[in-house]
């Protein structure tokens, strides 16, 4: 909002709310740069303070929630990071029928339903969380919708977002936690059970029955998600690859310093961006044929920006969700609230642009994209 003072805060890796065993394993298996030793100490202290509340919830509350039936059809928003997934997620969550993982739950997934723990760490989260997200100025709040990937590494060591702490290992975490390469079936089944429990707890927390997910790593997990939820609905939102690269790079450069536990050169970050995009989108194109046509909607980010109400209505009609007219006033209020959102401005090096065309050209061709006219090309 114009003139509104931005709340300052501190980002900490979500391991503050993870299993202590997972935290120790991550620190043991990965090289931590000396400059981040103090950050590790702070994370460990918060994690240990949180430990009794996690234990209580896991022993007393989780088994009760796990026994509850989940017969709803989840809706999964897919798409590479910086492709409009957040905008679409935040919009659809204005429909009060949808339940979702909140920012608080994504960090403290097992300190959600114990009253004392929720009070202490809810207050902690509110005090520390910044008013906007580094890298893209998106408004933040502990109760706002969030990606569930952060919470999926809580108890089972399969989480792509471990890379935020250990960015040099991003390819390893993609192959392990997204493609499940070399992962024992027992561990994958445990991950599935953790995911279902996370969804049940999210629905209990939001007091809803239909789960709405926004989790970019799921873009390449369609096969596994269909094993879990054969009738699931999928919305794939895509964006011009040139804009995706620039926005992703800017986001990584600004977010990573607040979360990482090991140093990494910017050139290596750029190489990872190129590689992960190719892997994710090729995996998506290969697996999307598994989705029944009536359960898949694909939209362009630019179309959602230009005509949000029209595109939302199309999603509701395609999935036969009903209730669009009732939710429309909420959509409109949210759109009015975010209309002053200020986007980052970008230019691009000619050599980088040529590399995008060479390595990501398959997506530009597939979805009929060309170089955006509003991006300045520089030669330095």
Backbone angles phi, psi at 299, to 5 degrees: -135, 155
d(CA 199, CA 332): 27
Q: What is the pLDDT of residue 379?
A: 79
d(CA 328, CA 343): 25
Q: What is the pLDDT of residue 13?
A: 87
Secondary structure (3-state) at 78? strand
Tens of pLDDT along the chain (380 residues)? Answer: 344 455 565 678 889 999 999 999 999 999 999 999 999 999 999 999 999 999 999 999 999 999 998 877 999 999 999 999 999 999 999 999 999 999 999 999 999 999 999 999 998 888 777 656 555 556 668 889 999 999 999 999 999 999 999 999 999 999 999 999 999 999 999 999 999 999 999 999 999 989 999 999 999 999 999 999 999 999 999 999 999 999 999 999 999 999 999 999 999 999 999 999 999 999 999 999 999 999 999 999 999 999 999 999 999 999 999 999 999 999 999 999 887 555 556 788 889 999 999 999 999 999 999 988 888 788 76
Q: What is the pLDDT of residue 142?
A: 85
Q: Which of these, 214, 207, 95, 86, lies nearest to 140 by C-alpha position?
A: 86
What range defines the domain where residue 372 resides? Answer: 14-378
Start-end of H helices in the chain: 20-29, 37-56, 62-66, 85-92, 103-107, 115-128, 149-152, 170-177, 185-206, 222-228, 241-259, 266-287, 301-306, 308-318, 324-338, 350-359, 361-366
Q: Which of these, 205, 212, 117, 146, lies nearest to 14 by C-alpha position?
A: 146
Q: Which of these, 378, 167, 144, 129, lies nearest to 272 by C-alpha position?
A: 167
SS3 of 8-49: the string is: CCCCCCHHHHCCHHHHHHHHHHCCCCHHHHHHHHHHHHHHHH
Q: What is the pLDDT of residue 3?
A: 46
State the chain's maximal CA–CA distance in angstroms.
61
In a domain, 179, yes or no: yes
CATH number, domain of 87, equals 3.40.50.300
Residues facing 132 on adjacent strands: 139
- Mention every residue, 6+ apart, whose C-beta is less than 8 A from residue 11: 130, 134, 255, 258, 259
d(CA 114, CA 250): 38
In a domain, 7, yes or no: no
d(CA 42, CA 107): 15
Q: Which of these, 317, 313, 295, lies nearest to 303 by C-alpha position?
A: 313
Secondary structure (3-state) at 210? strand
* Rounded (5°) CA angle 368-136-246: 40
d(CA 55, CA 121): 15
In a domain, 199, yes or no: yes
In a domain, 4, yes or no: no
Q: Go through 191-206 and write b for each residue having 16 or more CB atoms within 10 A of its CB, e for each that does not.
A: bbebbbbbbbbbbbbb
In a domain, 230, yes or no: yes
Q: What is the pLDDT of residue 303?
A: 97
Q: Which of these, 132, 149, 146, lies nearest to 205 by C-alpha position?
A: 146
Q: Cβ distance 85 to 216 under 8 Å?
A: yes
In a domain, 9, yes or no: no
Model confidence, pTM:
0.92
* Rounded (5°) CA angle 188-194-196: 105
Q: How far is CA 120 from CA 55, 58, 59, 124, 140, in A?
A: 15, 17, 19, 6, 19
In a domain, 233, yes or no: yes
Q: What is the pLDDT of residue 5?
A: 53
Q: How many domains does the chain have?
A: 1
In a domain, 102, yes or no: yes
Two tokens, residue 378 = 């520089």
- Mention every residue, 6+ apart, whose C-beta is less than 8 A from residue 268: 167, 168
Q: Which value, to the nearest 10 degrees, does the dihedral of the CA atoms of residues 188, 212, 334, 258 take?
A: -10
């Amino acid at each position: 909002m114009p003139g509104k003072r931005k709340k300052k805060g501190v980002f900490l890796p979500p391991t503050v709310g993870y299993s202590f065993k997972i935290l120790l394993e991550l620190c043991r298996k990965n090289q931590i740069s000396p400059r981040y030793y103090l950050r590790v100490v702070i994370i460990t202290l918060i994690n240990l303070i949180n430990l009794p509340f996690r234990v209580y919830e896991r022993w007393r509350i989780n088994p009760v929630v796990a026994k509850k039936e989940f017969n709803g059809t989840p809706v999964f928003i897919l798409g590479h990071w910086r492709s409009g997934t957040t905008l679409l997620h935040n919009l659809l969550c204005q429909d009060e029928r949808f339940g979702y993982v909140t920012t608080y739950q994504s960090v403290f997934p097992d300190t959600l339903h114990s009253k004392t723990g929720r009070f202490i760490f809810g207050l902690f989260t509110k005090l520390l969380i910044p008013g906007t997200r580094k890298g893209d100025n998106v408004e933040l709040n502990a109760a706002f919708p969030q990606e569930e990937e952060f919470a999926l590494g809580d108890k089972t060591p399969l989480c792509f977002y471990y890379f935020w702490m250990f960015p040099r290992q991003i390819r390893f975490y993609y192959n392990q936690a997204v493609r499940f390469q070399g992962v024992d079936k027992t561990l994958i089944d445990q991950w599935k059970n953790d995911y279902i429990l996370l969804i049940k707890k999210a629905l209990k927390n939001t007091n809803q029955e239909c789960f709405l997910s926004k989790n970019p790593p799921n873009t390449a997990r369609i096969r596994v998600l269909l094993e879990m939820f054969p009738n699931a609905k999928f919305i794939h939102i895509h964006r011009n690859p040139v804009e995706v690269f620039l926005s992703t790079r800017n986001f990584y450069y600004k977010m990573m310093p607040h979360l990482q536990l090991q140093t990494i050169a910017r050139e290596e970050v750029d190489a990872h961006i190129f590689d992960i995009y190719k892997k994710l989108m090729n995996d998506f194109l290969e697996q999307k044929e598994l989705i029944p046509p009536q359960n898949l909607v694909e939209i362009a980010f630019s179309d959602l920006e230009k005509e949000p109400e029209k595109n939302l209505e199309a999603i509701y009609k395609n999935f036969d969700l009903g209730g669009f007219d009732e939710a429309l006033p909420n959509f409109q209020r949210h759109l009015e609230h975010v209309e002053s959102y200020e986007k980052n401005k970008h230019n691009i090096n000619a050599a980088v642009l040529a590399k995008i065309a060479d390595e990501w050209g398959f997506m530009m061709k597939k979805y009929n994209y060309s170089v955006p006219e509003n991006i300045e090309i520089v030669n330095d």
